[in-house]
Amino acid sequence: MSTLDAPAVAARRATPPPLPRLDVLLRRSTRLAAIPGLTEQALRWHAEGDARRAAVAREAARIAAPRLWPDTIASFLATGWRLVSTAAPDAPFQLLAAASASVGLRVEPPNANAATLARAQKLVRAGGPAYVKLGQFIATADGLLPDEWVKAFAFCRDEAPALEPGVAQAVVDRELAGVRDRLAWLDETPLATGSIGQVHRGRLSDGTEVVVKVRRPGLRRQFRTDIETLALATAAAEKMHGAARSANLTGFVELFAQLALEELDFRLEASNLVDSSAVLEAMGAEHMIAPRPIPDMVTERVLVMEMLPGVSYARLDGTGETAGDRLLQLGIQGVLEATLKHGVFHGDLHAGNVLIDEATGSFSLVDFGIAGRLDAAKRAGLVSYLAAWAANDAAGQIAAMQAFGAIEADAEVDVLVAELQTELDLLRDRARGEVTFDQLGITLGRLLQVLARNGFRMPKDLVLFFKNLLYLAGFAASVAPDADVLAVVQDILLDLLADPDAGLGDLLGAPQVA
């Protein structure tokens, strides 16, 4: 079987090759140009996106920092009854530990006994939207959490309460006041509901079938209150629980806040949609598309986009061995190439966001509220990390983290390297030297745990990429259960490294094939 084998540190270039320019891809996209005005609007979203994402990151860091200011105390008092009503003061810690494990941080989740699950469920049901979002993290963590936890929080994915009748219509009327007449029909019954908002079917005056995503009113204020309360609860937990301290749960709260706040601004989702559409088209991935937003019908609170065909891959009746292998190959190739060649990828590829058109076998990727974005240095760091993982090289993994900004470039890392190498050697001994797909998850978990114990930051985009790899494993289990996922991933990585247009081979030197 093919394997990657290259010393990550020695082979890294001081100046990594640049990523393809997204603004150029947007201008070249014929798929975006097919909707009048979308190319111009896409370029505006793209130009404004970096500043908006930076502002979200600053806000997330501010509200996730535990503080006892008057407004924070008020938030804590307003939500303190939730802790009392659960009859378990450590319920927030249990919930946060499970949610952090759901994004790959190796925090040992609480025992999945009936009493623990009932208390955590009660906290989520009594809490605000941030608690429901934590529950959704857990509900989509197949392979990372015990099945009991995933099943216990399925209601967060499937049973979010709908808005009162007329509320969504009022939000749409207000937000799209100048172009409301272009929306000829809006179904009063939601197509789906979630913690952020709900989606309705609609139809434009020109006959285009669309979906209309509406944010819940007052959501930003509610999220801020919930996250500030969680930050205080986490600070208290870290004083009482050694596991909370070693896991750096305060860092997880900041990561969670950033992901949640990005989802609240539908203009960022629109930017993710057009960038991803242009990337998929540039890749020649005709089998994989993202919905195109409708120009002048996107605001912070409302997003109108085309409706795409397909059903969740988890609901397929059966694909057959040949069709399943093809779906697996196309799905993994699309995700890895978009990530490593272009630096833009869907950040939440659970089964509900990957639709398959059974008639054509094509993919529709939906719900781009969370997306990963790599610059040239982070892309180089990710390629180096994958090579260092294959070589069981702790120094290479730590060096790769410096590209992600998780560790300062001038930080003393000898202790980190020694600590991580000890854990990696133990893992290798237990696995008898085999490099398996599961080992990638365990190895990255150990790395994140070492970073957390030493107070370093959690690299958001690496966490999202890692979670996508686990989603791909779940995808494989559904469409091609007998496939060797590691072999598929490694062959695609080797092809990308050998592609001169991608420029990835320059990051490591020539990859060796064993």
How do residues 332-373 score in pLDDT, each as one tens digit? 888 888 998 999 999 888 888 889 888 888 889 999 999 999
What is the value of pTM for the model shown? 0.87
Confidence of residue 244 (pLDDT cuts 50, 70, 90): low
DSSP assignment of 9-44 equals: HHH--SSPPPPPPHHHHHHH-HHHHTSTTHHHHHHH
Mean pLDDT of 88-103: 75
Domain 22-52+267-293+308-372 has CATH 3.40.50: no
Confidence of residue 13 (pLDDT cuts 50, 70, 90): very low
Determine the distance from the C-alpha atom of residue 320 to the mean position of all C-alpha atoms in its chain, rounded to a whole number: 29
Determine the distance from the C-alpha atom of residue 3 to the mean position of all C-alpha atoms in its chain, rounded to a whole number: 27
Question: What pLDDT, on the 0 to 100 scale, is given for residue 493?
Answer: 80
Q: Mind spelling out the 3-state secondary structure of 407-474? A: CCCCCCCHHHHHHHHHHHHHHHHHCCCCCCHHHHHHHHHHHHHHHHHCCCCCCHHHHHHHHHHHHHHH
DSSP assignment of 100-169 equals: HHTTT----PPP--HHHHHHHHHHHHHS-HHHHHHHHHHHT-BTTB-HHHHHHTHHHHH-PPPPPTTHHH
Using CA atoms in the order 167, 168, 170, 171, what is the torsion angle rounded to 10 degrees? 120
Which bin fits 509, alpha (ψ -120 to 50), beta or left (φ > 0)?
Answer: left
User: What span, in angstroms and rounded, lies between the C-alpha atoms of 328 and 322?
Assistant: 10
Confidence of residue 137 (pLDDT cuts 50, 70, 90): confident
Closest listed residue to residue 197, CA positions, set 210, 218, 220, 214: 214
Mean pLDDT of 143-165: 82
Question: What pLDDT, on the 0 to 100 scale, is given for residue 200?
Answer: 96
* Assigned token pair, 341: 């060649």
CA angle 419, 420, 424 (to 5 degrees): 125
CA distances from 452 to 108, 419, 447, 458, 467 (A): 14, 12, 9, 7, 18
Backbone φ, ψ for residue 437 (5° rounding): -65, -40
Where in the chain is CATH 1.10.510?
A: 22-52+267-293+308-372
Confidence of residue 270 (pLDDT cuts 50, 70, 90): very high
Write down the residue that tokens 């099945």 correspond to. 147
Longest Cα separation, the chain: 66
